[in-house]
Amino acid sequence: MSVPLRHRDLLAPLWRVVVAFRLVSWVLAVAGWFRERDDYPGMVAPLAVLAAMGIWTGVVTVAHSRAAGRRTRMTLLDLGVTVLLLAATVTTQPEGAFGQGAPIVTSIWVAGPALAMALARGRGGGLAGALVVWAAVTFLRGYVGDREVFNLTLLVLVSVLLGYAATITRAAELALREAAAAQAASAERERLGRAVHDGVLQVLAAVRRRGVDPELTRLAAEQEVALRGLLTTGPEVAVGTADLGTALRLLATPDVEVAGPAEPVELPAQTTAELTAAVREALANTAEHAPGARSWVSLEPADDEVVVVVRDDGPGIPDGRLSAAVDEGHHGVRSSICGRLADLGGTADLHTGPGQGTEWELTIPRGTDR
């Protein structure tokens, strides 16, 4: 079964390439040690380093197979562990041997984190990762020669180009998701238009024609015009970026307090619109089911994710009430909150209970090229 376009990760093939590089480069490191084992004074130290490299290769292979393992935090950890393993190679050779051209058991395996950072952080991340790896190897060697300059140039070139490809791919993915969202919205609007035209609009028109109550007639006419306009207006698709903090602050009322950082939290405009709509739905639920309750909205941005917490001091949601609401045909929580967050690749966690108030924790992964 094919994956819907709006849920497809177009960077996944590039991450599989990075994983394959780590596996192949580890195998090459093992083969290189076996071929040059006579150049090592002992076997225990290089085998221990190779074993640790193999274990860590397995860890990053599993991590990079999931979205959570493709974030900046994991790539920085990968870079740190790789540098530590590179430092551990001093136990494999006598003092001063690296300066005389002795082989380093890690070989090209150490270039892996630079490639991962290029995918996670774009061109800047790839350049930074390449420079850190090259600096660590150069420090180990103790000199800079023609070979070292060539290796740096090659590593920087590959990392920057891969980061550039990742940036372009992310832009294409955003455009495709917006196109898919617009197509889905158009199809849903057409489906609802048929249903509404055959039901609600006919009832409103009948009420307006009969004119039993002037006020009711006026309201029916207004709603008929508004509903027809809504059904005939094309879907709105946000483009570019927007400040989530500004969008959330517009939701503040005497009963709703909004807090967040002073600096802008720039996200794709469509993401900002959808996340703001989910927050608005949570606040609307509080206003409807807990009249008089106060609500607090807090925005907590991080390097790799954005968290919005919406809580109130109402009576909380009784156990089983949400399931009952779905059975009754009320899909506000499931569609307007959980569904929106799922479409954004995030999560919506609800914490509530009788007498405990209600708290929504809305988390979405943050784009890396800001």
Is the predicted pLDDT of residue 2 greater than 50, yes or no?
no
Reported confidence tier of residue 242, pLDDT bands at 50, 70, 90: confident
Q: Which residues contact 140 (CB under 8 A, 6 or more apart)?
A: 86, 87, 89, 90, 98, 104
Adjacent-strand bridge partners of 280 = none
Average pLDDT, integer, range 162-183: 80
How far is Cα 274 from Cα 66, in angstroms, rounded to an integer?
A: 24
Q: Report the sign of the C-alpha dihedral through residues 325, 330, 335, 337, in that order.
A: negative
Nearest to 285 by CA among 337, 233, 247, 235: 337
Q: Which of 173, 198, 222 is the last residue of a domain?
A: 173
Q: Contact at 8 Å (CB) between 368 and 125?
A: yes
Is the predicted pLDDT of residue 280 greater than 70, yes or no?
yes
Q: What is the pLDDT of residue 286?
A: 87
166 and 27 in a single domain? The answer is yes
Is the predicted pLDDT of residue 337 greater than 90, yes or no?
no
pTM attached to this predicted model: 0.56
Range scoring the smallest mean pLDDT among 52-56, 170-174, 208-212, 302-306? 208-212
In this structure, is residue 127 part of a structural domain? yes
Domain range for residue 254?
Answer: 239-370
Q: What is the pLDDT of residue 368?
A: 40
Reported confidence tier of residue 177, pLDDT bands at 50, 70, 90: confident
Placement of tokens 């009952």 in the chain? 324
Q: Which of 151, 173, 195 is the last residue of a domain?
A: 173
Quote the tokens at residue 22: 């780590």
Quote the tokens at residue 3: 């994956």
Q: What is the pLDDT of residue 89?
A: 93
Residue predicted with more confidence, 309 or 175: 309
Q: What percent of the chain has pLDDT over 70?
A: 78
121 and 47 in a single domain? The answer is yes
How far is Cα 299 from Cα 248, in angstroms, rounded to an integer?
A: 8
Q: What is the pLDDT of residue 4?
A: 47
In this structure, is residue 165 part of a structural domain? yes
345 and 247 in a single domain? The answer is yes
Average pLDDT, integer, range 153-162: 92
Q: Contact at 8 Å (CB) between 238 and 276?
A: no
In this structure, is residue 215 part of a structural domain? no
Q: What is the pLDDT of residue 1?
A: 43
65 and 159 in a single domain? The answer is yes
Range scoring the smallest mean pLDDT among 41-45, 143-147, 270-274? 143-147
Q: Which of 173, 198, 221 is the last residue of a domain?
A: 173
Mean of per-residue pLDDT scores for the chain: 82
In this structure, is residue 281 part of a structural domain? yes
48 and 158 in a single domain? The answer is yes
Q: What is the pLDDT of residue 67?
A: 81
Q: Which residues contact 281 (CB under 8 A, 6 or more apart)?
A: 332, 333, 336, 337
Average pLDDT, integer, range 286-305: 88
Is the predicted pLDDT of residue 194 greater than 70, yes or no?
no
Q: What is the CATH number for 365?
A: 3.30.565.10
Reported confidence tier of residue 342, pLDDT bands at 50, 70, 90: confident
In this structure, is residue 275 part of a structural domain? yes
Average pLDDT, integer, range 190-195: 64
Adjacent-strand bridge partners of 307 = 300, 363
**107-116, 249-258, 281-290: which has the highest mean pLDDT?**
107-116
In this structure, is residue 356 part of a structural domain? yes
129 and 271 in a single domain? The answer is no
Burial label, 306 (beta-carbon count in 10 A; 0-12, 13-18, 19+): buried
